[in-house]
Amino acid sequence: MRALYRDFRPWLLLLLRRRRRFLLGTLLVFITLMAGLSLLGLSGWFITASALTGIALSMGLPARLDVYVPGGGIRFFALARTIARYMERLYNHNTVLTLLADLRYRVFGYLTRFDDARLHGQRASDWLSRLTADIDTLDNFYLRLLVPPLVALLGVVAVSLFVAIWLPGIGMLMVVTLGLLWLVATLLAAVWGFSNSYQQVVDQQSLRRLVVDQIQTSAELMSYRTTQWHRALITTQEQQAFSNQRRLGRKAALINCLVSVISGVMVVTVLWFASLVLAQQSVSGPILVMAVLIALGANEAFMSLPAGFIKLGASYAAVRRLNELTSDSSPTSPGFTLPEGIGLSIHAHQLSLRYAQTLEPALSEIDLQLPAGKRAVITGNSGAGKSSLASVLMGRLKATQGESIVGGVPAWQLTDENRANHFAMLTQQVDLFDASIAENLRIANPTASDEMLWEALRAVALDSWVEQLPKGLATAVGEKGQQLSGGQGRRLALARLLLCTPKVVILDEPFARVDEATATHIAASLDKWLVNRTAIFLVHQVSSLNLVPGVEYHWHLDAGKLSQYPNNNR
């Protein structure tokens, strides 16, 4: 139990930030329950009282009944229940969606602290699962495990005290029985279904991973003739998940059956004891009917509890997976900052990098020194380690040995904000969002004017194309820039980079997927933009020196080892 609380505690603390909304939502649920029970009890009392009064009058006995007060009460409770139910559903669902947004914001913040090695250590589908499936599982935690049991417990006390006004013994019986019912619907359901619901999350994750692999690697599976083997793995995992889900479903059904049996026994017992009291003429018939109907209606507060608590294990599994992010996402730096107002040099000495579970190092004993404001080019074939070197130099990866020093400060130990303000990097993977061209460009500079955007587009030879579009800068690029060609998307990312004001720039294949004329135009634009900036070009080969303007240093990277050309200025 202590471990359970410890793992849930960070997410409960997040809830406390919105405790007023939580308490108000709980109050709305309680008002809805009490209005429903009041409506049921008062209606039973009124119908019974009306019937007895009518019988008395038909027998010639003197009798009277005020129909206006209970009639008004019935209308009031009916309206109160309807309005409270609507407000509760609207308000609580809005609260839960807000909490889930808070959770996604926090989890995404953890992911931003991971370096490239950590991010690439798991599939993208797994990270997406953390942001979607795991957080959605906590919907059950907030919506079904916190509010309903609290309301049910308050309802037990309120109902029992109300009935005890006329029937103290029955009130005591109800508080004991309803308390037992609360324990069965919460603790017993949670304990009994914990392992199966926990396993359900594990099975879903494994099945999701296998299905994604089947889709993404279908060509490789077909070429190696292992498609049927992999499908058999999916089928086996699917059957295992179904079997566990059936066991969980049977347990849920048995718990619901037990709750119904206890509820039914309680109603019958209340009716029996009330009849004994009625026989002694200690209470009137309408009061007896009201007590029985309230006992019957109180079951409504418990019927939804087993469905939520039997899935406590699923919420716990999701929380543990999310907690792994918090333990692995310690800040990448203690908070070093770069000096302001001066150029930044880059220095690396005996720098090596080895990824986890690899036989050979990605980088080996690299020595590199680039003065502030100078430009260099590093050539190398695909897989030589250029992107890994760029990530280490920018502080996005921590070297296994040695360190990247930028401006006299270890790049790995810079704050994220300081690194973002002083470094800029064009990676091989272009990240464009499902928004307009202007919105994608303004990610780099939110205050950029339209003229600044057009100037950046002219620098990468995209202005003429954008001018021909019906919506111009407002044209949507689609998810991941799918409305653009590969070359257009890459140039748009480069234009976004030109809107920044960094001191250190690394350009990984800036001329890829463009023709020679366009490459020459982009090179001229970069020559102007890179003045007084420290820059490194990463390319496969230098076919024309015009494409790497102003370069004074030239290194070649092969199998993770860096060698210098004789014409390097040292």
Mean pLDDT calculated for residue range 484-508: 85
> Is 348 in a helix, a strand, or coil?
strand
Q: For residue 330, what pLDDT band results from cuts at 50, 70 and 90?
A: very low
Six-digit token string for 80: 């109160």
What confidence tens digit (pLDDT) does each residue in 261-291 have? 998 899 899 889 888 888 887 788 888 899 8
What confidence tens digit (pLDDT) does each residue in 286-309 have? 888 998 899 888 888 888 889 889
Amino acid identity for residue 313 in this structure: G
CA trace torsion 336, 339, 345, 348 (10° rounding): -20
Do 304 and 380 fall within a single domain?
Answer: no
- In sequence order, the β-bridge partners of residue 539 are 379
| φ/ψ of residue 375, rounded to 5 | -125, 145
Residue 87 belongs to a domain: yes
What confidence tens digit (pLDDT) does each residue in 160-218 have? 999 898 889 888 989 999 999 999 999 999 999 999 999 988 888 888 888 888 887 88
Do 307 and 430 fall within a single domain?
Answer: no
What confidence tens digit (pLDDT) does each residue in 65-83 have? 888 899 999 999 999 999 9
Do 317 and 381 fall within a single domain?
Answer: no
Q: What is the mean pLDDT of the chain?
A: 83
- In sequence order, the β-bridge partners of residue 315 are none
**Minimum mean pLDDT among 108-122, 142-156, 373-387, 534-548: which range?**
108-122
Q: For residue 332, what pLDDT band results from cuts at 50, 70 and 90?
A: very low
Do 262 and 157 fall within a single domain?
Answer: yes
Does position 14 have pLDDT exceeding 90, yes or no?
no
Does position 434 have pLDDT exceeding 50, yes or no?
yes
What confidence tens digit (pLDDT) does each residue in 406-416 have? 877 777 777 77
Do 323 and 377 fall within a single domain?
Answer: no
Amino acid identity for residue 542 in this structure: V
| φ/ψ of residue 416, rounded to 5 | -60, -40
566 vs 463, higher pLDDT:
463
User: Given this model, what pLDDT does residue 565 score?
Assistant: 65
- Helices 68-112 and 19-58 cross at an angle (nearest 10°) of 160
Which CATH number characterizes residue 59's domain? Answer: 1.20.1560.10
User: Given this model, what pLDDT does residue 38 score?
Assistant: 93
Do 22 and 53 fall within a single domain?
Answer: yes
> Is 72 in a helix, a strand, or coil?
helix
Residue 495 belongs to a domain: yes
Do 412 and 509 fall within a single domain?
Answer: yes
- Biggest CA–CA distance in the chain, Å, is 124
Q: For residue 237, what pLDDT band results from cuts at 50, 70 and 90?
A: very high
**Minimum mean pLDDT among 257-271, 391-405, 454-468, 544-558: which range?**
544-558
Does position 48 have pLDDT exceeding 70, yes or no?
yes
Nearest partner of 529 among 493, 500, 554, 509, judged by Cα: 500
Cα separation values, 455 from 195, 461, 525, 529, Å: 60, 10, 10, 12
Residue 140 belongs to a domain: yes
Helix, strand, coil tally for the chain in percent (to 5):
65, 10, 25
Highest mean pLDDT among 383-387, 491-495, 510-514, 566-570: 491-495
Percent of the chain whose predicted confidence (pLDDT) is above 70:
91
Six-digit token string for 541: 């080969």
User: Given this model, what pLDDT does residue 333 score?
Assistant: 45
The domain boundary residue, chosen from 279, 297, 328 = 328
Cα separation values, 375 from 380, 441, 529, 545, Å: 17, 25, 12, 13
User: Given this model, what pLDDT does residue 327 score?
Assistant: 60
Do 415 and 291 fall within a single domain?
Answer: no
Amino acid identity for residue 50 in this structure: S
- In sequence order, the β-bridge partners of residue 557 are 562
User: Residue 292 and residue 275: Cα distance in Å, rounded?
Assistant: 10
Total domains in the chain come to 2
**Minimum mean pLDDT among 101-115, 137-151, 177-191: which range?**
101-115
Strand residues in 149-198 grouped as ranges (E): none
Do 380 and 442 fall within a single domain?
Answer: yes
Residue 88 belongs to a domain: yes
Nearest partner of 534 among 438, 407, 414, 409, judged by Cα: 407
User: Residue 177 and residue 513: Cα distance in Å, rounded?
Assistant: 74
Do 187 and 323 fall within a single domain?
Answer: yes
Six-digit token string for 10: 């960070």
User: Residue 13 and residue 102: Cα distance in Å, rounded?
Assistant: 12
Six-digit token string for 32: 């809805």
Highest mean pLDDT among 55-59, 195-199, 467-471, 494-498: 195-199
Does position 45 have pLDDT exceeding 70, yes or no?
yes
Using only C-alpha atoms, the chain has a radius of gyration, in whole angstroms, of 35
Does position 59 have pLDDT exceeding 80, yes or no?
yes
Does position 334 have pLDDT exceeding 60, yes or no?
no
**Minimum mean pLDDT among 41-45, 254-258, 437-441: which range?**
437-441
Do 310 and 390 fall within a single domain?
Answer: no
User: Given this model, what pLDDT does residue 544 score?
Assistant: 57
Amino acid identity for residue 42 in this structure: L
Element (H, E) at 410: strand 409-410
Which CATH number characterizes residue 416's domain? Answer: 3.40.50.300
Residue 152 belongs to a domain: yes
Range of the domain at 245: 2-328
Regarding beta strands 553-558 and 534-539, do their DSSP bridges make them parallel or antiparallel, or are they unpaired?
Answer: unpaired
Six-digit token string for 535: 């820059």
User: Given this model, what pLDDT does residue 570 score?
Assistant: 41
136 vs 276, higher pLDDT:
276
Does position 104 have pLDDT exceeding 50, yes or no?
yes
Does position 42 have pLDDT exceeding 60, yes or no?
yes
Q: For residue 146, what pLDDT band results from cuts at 50, 70 and 90?
A: confident
Give one DSSP letter per residue of 195-252, joined into a string: HHHHHHHHHHHHHHHHHHHHHHTHHHHHHTT-HHHHHHHHHHHHHHHHHHHHHHHHHH
User: Whole-prediction pTM value?
Assistant: 0.68
User: Residue 549 and residue 49: Cα distance in Å, rounded?
Assistant: 98
Residue 337 belongs to a domain: no
Do 363 and 323 fall within a single domain?
Answer: no
User: Given this model, what pLDDT does residue 123 score?
Assistant: 65
Residue 340 belongs to a domain: no
Residue 67 belongs to a domain: yes
